[in-house]
Every structure is written in structure tokens, then in C-alpha cells.
Structure 1
């Protein structure tokens, strides 16, 4: 009479896994827990140990669902990241961000590709693709290092740099993903392919993404706050408008062949510039953040669930790629790229090291797998899954403490005073620039 359906077992197991991931760390720390690694491990445990569970969704065999869910997760996070930024500081405050985007990210892609080629025996296209997939820092999993929600301030130069970098480099990594896909499809790199890539994927799509995002953000601001002035949409207090804004900005930009990820961040950033003191910005942010957390939790549990199907393809060389990126390539390249900026000492070290990897990498690989037949695709997924897990453990467990220390928000005594002086010197140098 009574039966157990796999679907209902799945719902109960995923719900329990998410609750436990957020609840158990509170017995060990008074801080808001970093749950990303626990969500992955909980997904792995639930699908490995609980009888009657349906088969986990394999990203190699079915990349499309992974692409859609991760895409929505990233664009919502990017829009919310744009809303977080309370003010536009002097030009000097943006210099570290520009260095990380223009100098550090391409070099990280190149060095990761070289590691993939020399250590893992990847092709040129495969190495470039894995470098591009792992290049962007993550706006979804990096909340511990970002600036606070609207009207909370706390825009220390370290947090500001990490926030703006994460907001923009998801879109700026896309040209390199497209280059890897184009080389894989063509079987090699030619001058004609390189020229087309520069004109279309770098110049046109980046420009259109920025312009469309700014235009949609401005239009959303007018619709929410000014048209009509006596009965503005912001008076409804409904945060679901944030989701509508994300969909409009991203969908419109992709229709005109721009980079929707850039548009999602820029639209939130541009919207924040209108009626900056209005409480509705906080409602929009809180709604997008809640949606982002829900999608992230489901996606990380699913990633953990997929690990058993990826383990047969995992080799030490894949671990070497992820470890090299997290412990060597990003910290070193980030540190060198910030030479000559206002970043000094511990602040520079923290910005260089905390390049969190996460949901964006899932999207890029699922996107590539959906659009082209990839060589050694299971090995690529194994590499990405390991790197994300390693990042969530290393960065997730230490980022909050490290950034609090460097920004002087949780320490007393000489160390805190030194860190506050470091932050003040960065701010003063940025203001003078």
C-alpha cells in the first residue's frame, strides 16, 4: 500500500543535506559559516549512502541542465553584486581591479593552459579552455570577501577590489572560452580565426555588454523610481522586480550578441546610481541574494552528487592543475599585477590569494560541452569539480577571517591598528590618484 518514490527520497535528502550544511558549522564557530564545501560533501554523501536515491545528473552526459541553472545563478549574483556598491570612489580605487582584469586574468589563463598542456597532456584548445573556464573569480561563493549590502558601507579597498573583480571577470573570461571552443572546432589556430575573435568576441561583445547593461540599468531606474513619480514602482516594495531586471538585462544583451554577464553586473551597478539612498535597493538586493543562495545550494549539492561518476576519470595531473592555480598561479600573478598600485602589504596579499572559483566555472564548461564535442570532457569535469572543491575548502574556511583581519573589523591591538593604517593608506593613495 505504501511505497517510496525516488523523487520524494531525493527531495527529502537534498533538503536535509542543505539544512545540515548550514546548521552543523554553528556548533564550531560563532561566525556565519562558510557552507560551500559542506554542500558539495553533503551531496556526495546523500547520493552515495542513501538507498533509493535516483541516479545523479551526470554533467558529461547532460550538460544542458547544468548550463541553465548555473547561468541563472551567476547572472542573479552579478546583478546583486552591482547593487551592493554604494558609491563610486576616485579613479585610483579602480586601478587594482583593472590590473586584475586586464593583466592578471589573461596571464592566469595562459599559465593554467601551460600547466594543462605540460602536466596533463592536453591539446592547445583543451589547455586554453580549462584555463578560461577556471579564470573567473566567483561572485556567488565570494560573499565573505565582498562589500556589504546596499546602505551598509564597509567598502574597504580590499573588499571593493575583490567585489568589482568578481563582478566583471565572469563576462571578460567569455572571449577566451569562445577562443578555446573555436580552436577545438577548427582544429587549430589561424590568423583569420584570431582576427575574427578579436573583432567579434573582444571588441563588439564586450562593448555591447557594457552599453546594454548601462542602458537597461538606467531604464530600470527610471521605471522603478520616476515613471510615474506619484506612483512609482518602488512603492510596491516587491523584490521580484530584481529577477525581472536580471532577465531583461541578460536576455536583451544576449539577443544582440553581447556578453550578458557583463550586462547583468553593469545593469545592477547603473541602477544603484539612481535614487542611491532609496530603501528599495536593499529589497532588490535581498531578493536576488535569497534566490542566488537557493540556486547555489542546489547546484553545489548536485556537484557533490556527480563526483562519483567523475572519479574514474580523475588523475593526479588534474589535481595538479587546480592546486597550481589556487596556490601558485593566482597568488603570484595577482601579486605581480598589483605592483605600482595603492595596494600594499597584507592587503595586496589577500587580494592576490582570494580568487574564489565556483559556479561560473560550472557554467562555462557546461556551455562548452553543450555547444561543441569536447575531447576528454569527463577529465575536464573532474578537473573543474576538484578545483571548486579545493577552493571552497581553502578559501571558504579562511576568507572571512583573513579579510576581517586586513580590514580591521574583528581585531584588537597592534595587528588591527597596523591593518587599519594599511587600509587608510590604500584609501588615501586611491583618492590622490
Structure 2
């Protein structure tokens, strides 16, 4: 396909999704399903006018997926409606760490015993497929900053955290592919990849989010006539947090999600403190000063930056899912890949959610819906490409690419067809 044809195709697709024709509404098609259909139609499965080779273009696809996940995690974090407390966050925390671990173990067992993969490859596959996706699961995620729906909050916060909690298992799988199991290997993995990388990411996220919130509040109090570029501030915060995490070997995805939560909660806390101080001052000068700050732009960086990042998130979803359709061949649908996908959706996800939430107090309806809506997508593509770029042997890379692509496509179709009916019937609009 020439550049001109690509412009026409993408432009037409954007207009189609922007106008939201009634036929798409009646068929309950999610945007990802439409993008996937276009990619499959243009790709080698049907017309064959383009083919994106994930093995040869692994580094490019890794960067695309990385950027998409980072944007989505930041957006999800800034929409978190409640401050952190164990009572409010116990369910997503259990899902992101306990259920995640169970999911990796069950998937790895399937890969090792039924697919005949080496132990390292089986654990790597479990780490790739275990995390739920923050990019493609827009229909079951928090819609806006005031959305307090418990199902949406649970799924959004879980997806934000398990994109970081899956990374230790990806690294363990890669380590075991190069070395036999030993006490030294496991001890080093626990200390570095589990404890240090997780704790460091949380600390970096909390600190950077708080510092930027305080910096913006201080600057707005000094230069009220100079509007701040909230979109630049938000993107800069993503880059700063992610870069620091990479430098100190912390999990950057988790750090970005935490920094978005920290930014939003710090803004709320600082605004509350400022209002409290103004009320205590009870002076006309201070009340006049507070009124002067408001007209010069959004009062919060997190809120203002969402106007810029949400379109970028939707555009990245379009590009990556169209490319996903262009990676598939008609013979991609092997029994091995399809059987793992069905096992993941029908057994691994429900069982891991049930076991992870034992004694949590979550309602059976919440557990049932969370147990079904474990959408796999761009996060899995990123981990897969990370492993390929890391140095995964070519034969093993082809096998894992084949399986992962089929599972992600199945998730887009199966979860996409059921999300609206199930949310309406069992939870409400």
C-alpha cells in the first residue's frame, strides 16, 4: 500500500468512527472490533495488500505498544475517583497481585504440560497473557473523574496495576530460558524484580506526582496571567516518571499509573488545603485573590491534560489493532492457540478472580463480571515484543507470537461482543 492509500484508508476509518453510524450501534461493535476487521480485510488473511511482520518489526511494535500503554495508564490513573485506602482498594490490589500470580501459574501449567513448552517459555507466556489491558477495555473502564461505579473502578485499577505486576514473571521466564532453576536465580529474582522494582516504582510515582502538583499550584499562585500547558505537563510527567523508573530498574508502567493517581489526589488535597486557609483568613483580599486564579485555565493538570491524551489513546488503539489484523494469516488459527485462549477466558480468569477475592467481601455479581472481563490486548503485545527484542530464540519467538496474537484477537471479539449486553443486563448502563 502506498502512502496515499494509507491516508485514504485511515482517514475514512476515522470519519466512520467519528460519525458513529447507526449500523455499528445496532450491532454492538466496539471500536477495536471495527479496527480489527479493517486490518484483517487489508491483511494477508483476505485481500493481502499489506502484511506487518512482528518478528522483523519487533522493536517498532514494542515502541508503539509501549507508548499506547503509558498513555492509557496515565489516563486511567487520573480518573481514579477515590483516594487510596485499604477498604476501597483491597479488591483491585488482590486482583493485581494474588489473582495475577494464580493466572500466571495456571497459564504456565497449560503451556508446560499441554503445549510442551519449556518451563521458562511457559512462565514467559503466562506473564505475557496474564495482565488485563488498559487500552482496549474502554467499555468497562472508568469513564470520567467522577465515575464511582465499583465494577469500572475495579477493572480500571486492576489493569493499571497488573501491567506492572506482570513484569516480574516476564523476567523470570526469560531468566529460566537462559539458565536452569537455582536458589541463587530465584533469590535474585525475588529481591530485584519483585521487591525492589515494585517498591521503587511506587515510590517514584508517589513522589513525582506530588512534586508536579505542588509545582503547578505554586506557579499558578505567582503568575496568574500565564496559562500553563496542561497537556505538556502531563506528557512531561509521564516521560519523567518512566525515565527515572528505567534508570533505577523499577517497573515503569506501575510507576506511571501511581504517579497519575498521586498527581490527581495531590491536586485535590492541595486545593482543599488552600480553600481551608482562605476560609480561616476571612479577608476580602484573599477571597479576591482566589477568584482571580480560576479564569486562566483548568484548575488541575490531570483534568486539563485528559483533553489531549484521550484522543491520542484512541488513535494509538486504531493503529495497533489495524496492524494486529495485518499480522494474521488464515492458518494462524491453530488448535494450540485457540485452546489456550478458551482456557484463559473460561478457566484461568474466573478461577484466579474467585481465589484472589476469597474473603474480600466482594459481591458475587462483581466477582462474576470481573471474572469474565479480563480483556487481553496491547499490554500483552508489548510484553511479547519486549521478550523478542530481549533476545528470545527465533523459533520460540514465532511460537509465542502465534499464540499471543490469536489470544488477543479472540479477546477483542469475544469480550467485545459480550461487553454491552452483559453490562446492561447484570450491572446497568
**TM-score bin, normalised by smaller chain:** 0.7 to 0.9
- Say if 1:288 and 1:200 are closer, same or farther in 2 by CA, change over 3 A: same
Q: In the alignment, what sits opposite 1:192?
A: 184
Counterpart check, 1:379 vs 2:399:
yes
- Say if 1:404 and 1:13 are closer, same or farther in 2 by CA, change over 3 A: same
Describe how 1:195-206 pairs up with structure 2 within 5 A.
Answer: 195-206=187-198
Distance (Å, rounded) in 2 between the aligned partners of 1:233 and 1:392: 47
Q: In the alignment, what sits opposite 2:251?
A: 259
Distance (Å, rounded) in 2 between the aligned partners of 1:232 and 1:112: 55
Q: In the alignment, what sits opposite 2:209?
A: 217
Bigger radius of gyration: 2
TM-score, with normalisation over the residues of structure 1?
0.86
Structure 2: any 5+ residue segments left out of the alignment?
272-298
Shift of 1:47: 3.0
Distance (Å, rounded) in 2 between the aligned partners of 1:330 and 1:233: 52
Counterpart check, 1:297 vs 2:323:
no
- Say if 1:298 and 1:155 are closer, same or farther in 2 by CA, change over 3 A: same
Q: In the alignment, what sits opposite 1:60?
A: 55
Which among 133, 138, 141 is matched to residue 138 of structure 1? 133
Q: Is the 8 A contact 1:225 1:233 kept in 2?
A: no
Question: 1:251-293 CA distances to partner (integer Å, 9 max, x unpaired)?
Answer: 1211121110011101100000133373543221232211111
Secondary structure at the residue paired with 2:266?
coil
Aligned-CA RMSD value: 2.3
Counterpart check, 1:178 vs 2:165:
no
- Say if 1:89 and 1:260 are closer, same or farther in 2 by CA, change over 3 A: closer
Distance (Å, rounded) in 2 between the aligned partners of 1:404 and 1:282: 28
Q: In terms of mean alpha carbon deviation, does 221-230 or 204-213 score higher?
A: 221-230
Shift of 1:313: 5.6
Describe how 1:240-255 pairs up with structure 2 within 5 A.
Answer: 240-255=232-247
TM-score, with normalisation over the residues of structure 2?
0.86
Shift of 1:366: 0.2
- Say if 1:184 and 1:232 are closer, same or farther in 2 by CA, change over 3 A: farther
Which among 387, 394, 398 is matched to residue 368 of structure 1? 387
Q: How many residues of Structure 1 are paired with residues of Structure 2 in the alignment?
A: 398
- Say if 1:8 and 1:215 are closer, same or farther in 2 by CA, change over 3 A: same
Which among 408, 415, 428 is matched to residue 388 of structure 1? 408
Shift of 1:143: 1.6
- Say if 1:313 and 1:387 are closer, same or farther in 2 by CA, change over 3 A: closer
Counterpart check, 1:348 vs 2:370:
no
Distance (Å, rounded) in 2 between the aligned partners of 1:11 and 1:400: 31
- Say if 1:362 and 1:351 are closer, same or farther in 2 by CA, change over 3 A: same
Q: In terms of mean alpha carbon deviation, does 72-81 or 281-290 score higher?
A: 281-290
Structure 1: any 5+ residue segments left out of the alignment?
411-433
